[in-house]
Structure 1
Amino acid sequence: MNFRRLFAVMLKEMRQMRRDRITLAMIVGIPVMQLVLFGYAINLNLRGLSAGIADQAGTAGARALVMDMVATGVIAPTQTVNTPQELMASLRRGEISVGVVIPPDFERRRIDGREAVQVLVDGSDTVVQSAAVQLAQMPLDNSVALANATGAREVTARQIAVVSFYNPERRSAVNIVPGLIGVILTMTMVLFTGVSIVRERERGNMELLIATPVSRSELMIGKVLPYVGIGLVQTTLVLLLGLWLFKVPVRGSVLDVYVAALLLIVANLTLGLMISTKAQSQFQAMQMSFFVFLPSILLSGFMFPFAGMPRVIQWLAEVLPLTHFLRLIRGVMLRGAGLPELWPDVAALIAFTAVMMTLAISRFRKRLD
């Protein structure tokens, strides 16, 4: 072995790496991103779950009980309603994760030692369900003191009942399988179109496209449409396997499931086109796609609960298409909600698609340089 030639090859590779900004960004960016995401953004100890309160008693004891629950930090009231039916509607739309129902005869139930409060939980997320169970086990100091002052018996954990909806068996597959649709579509769709433009350059087909009368818009849209069918086939495959192997229910409309999948497919394809107009090679396109996969999987709520993330990270996650799709697909499949009830996430995916397609078309030029 000639060490001089070996050193020359090594030096050439290092110089080439130095010129490749994408590779340099991967070398520094991946460890930094993982450290920040796992150390700062990921939190399994849930706090501040969005909650709705239906206080039908309106007594001092009921208000003290709500204050005790809020003081635990597990819930953060975002809605005040009059009936349990309104809480159930908010749970179905995904506006809240927990609902607290205090009946009109709360004081009598408490004195008699009967079930006095119901905590309604969106059990489609097993982590949220486990966090809400803490409310039934907490010491209600203020309520106990108030009860003792009136000569009543103490409030015990048995008087607070936690009722889980949408996944009473607490099966992880019920929560994971709908999310897998989004993860698979994100990984495949972004990568497919991410390499599409640079592949034309590397194979020498760009010269042919330049000579044709095809406009930029026609080329971009034409690149997207074939993969839409592939994405719908993947959606069907995951749905059938989820139903057959894991008995995952589809409580809402199957049409809504496919419309939600279609919105994510188009959003990811346009994101891939945007990456393709920036990358100089297929390898660079794959590297840039990886920068999308990692935060999408970690921050969207697929692997880790969204409610446990810091507020700043939640704002960042709202930019990701997978975040909105998970709310849609779990709302339709597990809670039986309709897409009109989940319109904010539908609008977010449409807006994301429009922005990415506009940027991709504006950045693409029918020339070789």
Structure 2
Amino acid sequence: MKSVFRIKAVMLKEFRQLARDRITFGMVVMIPLIQLLLFGFAINTDVRNIPVAVVDQSGSSSGRLIVESLKVAQVVQVNQFYASIAEAEQAIEQGRVRAVLILPKDLEQRLAQNRALGQWLVDGSDTMVSSAIMQLRMMPLNDLQWRINTQPNTFDVTLLYNPSRRSAVNIVPGLLGVILTMTMILFTSAAIVRERERGNLELLIATPIHSIELMIAKIVPYVFVGLIQVTIILGLGHFIFSVPINGALSQVLFGTLLFIAASLTLGLVISTIAQTQLQSMQMTVFILLPSILLSGFMFPYEAMPVAAQWISEILPATHFMRMIRGIVLRGADLSDLWRDSLWMVVFTIIGLVVASFRFKKSLD
């Protein structure tokens, strides 16, 4: 009987401690809630509204009917019309569109002769998107069908950057973003908390160092850790899985440094909010889930609801995923991906400022 009372006393103490720990209690509710919403609404393997462009060299009514029929299918969303194939290929390289439909000048003749009506140029670096476009190579084109006695019209498909459709080509650069997100945020999320728990915070308070200087000093060592991870992942990915590195290594380096800085400052902000290392771990998990699932690593960005896309645009992982795949696979430059680069610079500055203001050189 005494054992039961002792167990009850400790159990009540744990319940009271959990109730007082608001961050932990909040994570108990929020983590399963976020997971449910992410997997229920945001995660969708049915690819829809893929941004594509059209190069209509025919200028015919049949070409316009083909474009309208594509819109009805809702698999693609025609965002741009280009006058030349070179412009269209540049748009794919810069990530503005995922595919381009080319309608040749002799479209009417091809219709009469039952030949391929045109050609798709597809960004093959994302296998899910390319698979969705491949389904459009044979499709009924509504009003065009009465003009020819044949099966659904066909289109030639050319896969750029990953013609063999190997999943490793898409996964390895994306995995770089996932691993850096996990390690960089995890390392720095406990930086200030660890100093407090070890009793070193008093020493830092006694020094003349400013808050912003402390924040910068905290993240610089982990920059080198991140660069080591980049070398390992891309190096092994290239030599073991034959993942091409089409972009300049300098572009890979600068883009990665931007993302490492943004992730480290996000971890610092968490560290200034959390009171214990357990809380910092819980908040890190809370950030990691949407960062990985909404970044486009596993599921196409275009398949997500608009609200989920807004959230993903705030997270650095989404921008880095576009950057690293664009540089490594498509050979793009940071100037081509300037919006993603600019956001990570802004995110880093805001994160450093917020962390500096939240860190007070006092023990209260």
Pairing partner for 2:270 from 265, 275, 283: 275
State the match for 2:66 in structure 1.
Answer: 65
CA deviations on 1:288-315 (whole Å, 9 max, x unpaired) are 1111110011000001111100011101
- Once residues 125 and 349 of structure 2 are traced to their aligned partners in structure 1, the CA distance between those partners, rounded to angstroms, is 31
State the match for 2:345 in structure 1.
Answer: 350
Whichever residue aligns with residue 360 of structure 1, its letter is: A
Whichever residue aligns with residue 42 of structure 1, its letter is: I
Whichever residue aligns with residue 24 of structure 1, its letter is: F
State the match for 1:135 in structure 2.
Answer: 136
User: Is residue 2:226 matched to residue 1:231?
Assistant: yes
Whichever residue aligns with residue 356 of structure 1, its letter is: G
Pairing partner for 2:195 from 188, 192, 200: 200
Pairing partner for 1:318 from 313, 317, 325: 313
Pairing partner for 1:211 from 196, 206, 228: 206
Whichever residue aligns with residue 161 of structure 2, its letter is: Y
Whichever residue aligns with residue 198 of structure 2, its letter is: R
State the match for 2:124 in structure 1.
Answer: 123
Tell me the SS of whatever aligns to 1:46.
coil
Task: Name stretches of at least 5 consecutive residues in structure 1 with no aligned partner.
Answer: none
**Superposed displacement of residue 217, structure 1:** 1.2
**Higher mean displacement: 271-280 or 25-34:** 25-34
- Once residues 151 and 336 of structure 2 are traced to their aligned partners in structure 1, the CA distance between those partners, rounded to angstroms, is 38
State the match for 2:100 in structure 1.
Answer: 99
**Superposed displacement of residue 32, structure 1:** 1.0
CA deviations on 1:170-220 (whole Å, 9 max, x unpaired) are 111100100111111111111111100011111111111111111111111
State the match for 2:241 in structure 1.
Answer: 246
- Once residues 155 and 211 of structure 2 are traced to their aligned partners in structure 1, the CA distance between those partners, rounded to angstroms, is 62
**After TM superposition, where is structure 1 displaced by more than 3 Å over at least 4 residues in a row?**
153-157
Tell me the SS of whatever aligns to 1:341.
coil
State the match for 2:255 in structure 1.
Answer: 260
**Superposed displacement of residue 286, structure 1:** 0.7
Task: Name stretches of at least 5 consecutive residues in structure 2 with no aligned partner.
Answer: none
User: Is residue 2:168 matched to residue 1:173?
Assistant: yes
State the match for 2:10 in structure 1.
Answer: 9
- Once residues 144 and 356 of structure 2 are traced to their aligned partners in structure 1, the CA distance between those partners, rounded to angstroms, is 62
User: Is residue 2:360 matched to residue 1:365?
Assistant: yes
CA deviations on 1:256-278 (whole Å, 9 max, x unpaired) are 11111101100001001100110
- Once residues 243 and 163 of structure 1 are traced to their aligned partners in structure 2, the CA distance between those partners, rounded to angstroms, is 23
Structure 2 CA distance for partners of 1:118 and 1:155, relative to 1, 3 Å: farther
Whichever residue aligns with residue 59 of structure 1, its letter is: S
Instruction: Please tell me whether the aligned partners of residues 296 and 318 of structure 2 are also in contact (alpha carbons under 8 angstroms).
Output: yes
Whichever residue aligns with residue 20 of structure 1, its letter is: D
Tell me the SS of whatever aligns to 1:2.
helix
In the superposition, the TM-score normalised over structure 1's length comes to 0.96
**Superposed displacement of residue 155, structure 1:** 6.5
User: Is residue 2:188 matched to residue 1:187?
Assistant: no
- Once residues 223 and 120 of structure 1 are traced to their aligned partners in structure 2, the CA distance between those partners, rounded to angstroms, is 46
**Superposed displacement of residue 363, structure 1:** 0.9
State the match for 2:282 in structure 1.
Answer: 287
In the superposition, the TM-score normalised over structure 2's length comes to 0.98
CA deviations on 1:152-173 (whole Å, 9 max, x unpaired) are x54744x311211111111111
Whichever residue aligns with residue 103 of structure 1, its letter is: P
State the match for 1:301 in structure 2.
Answer: 296
State the match for 1:82 in structure 2.
Answer: 83
Corresponding residue pairs, total: 363
- Once residues 252 and 144 of structure 2 are traced to their aligned partners in structure 1, the CA distance between those partners, rounded to angstroms, is 45
- Once residues 14 and 162 of structure 1 are traced to their aligned partners in structure 2, the CA distance between those partners, rounded to angstroms, is 61
- Once residues 313 and 31 of structure 1 are traced to their aligned partners in structure 2, the CA distance between those partners, rounded to angstroms, is 17
Instruction: Please tell me whether the aligned partners of residues 69 and 75 of structure 1 are also in contact (alpha carbons under 8 angstroms).
Output: yes
- Once residues 155 and 13 of structure 1 are traced to their aligned partners in structure 2, the CA distance between those partners, rounded to angstroms, is 70
User: Is residue 2:43 matched to residue 1:42?
Assistant: yes
State the match for 1:333 in structure 2.
Answer: 328
- Once residues 130 and 211 of structure 2 are traced to their aligned partners in structure 1, the CA distance between those partners, rounded to angstroms, is 49
**Superposed displacement of residue 87, structure 1:** 1.0
Instruction: Please tell me whether the aligned partners of residues 212 and 353 of structure 2 are also in contact (alpha carbons under 8 angstroms).
Output: no
- Once residues 138 and 113 of structure 1 are traced to their aligned partners in structure 2, the CA distance between those partners, rounded to angstroms, is 14
The alignment's C-alpha RMSD in Å is 1.1
Tell me the SS of whatever aligns to 2:97.
coil
Instruction: Please tell me whether the aligned partners of residues 256 and 338 of structure 1 are also in contact (alpha carbons under 8 angstroms).
Output: yes
Instruction: Please tell me whether the aligned partners of residues 137 and 155 of structure 2 are also in contact (alpha carbons under 8 angstroms).
Output: yes
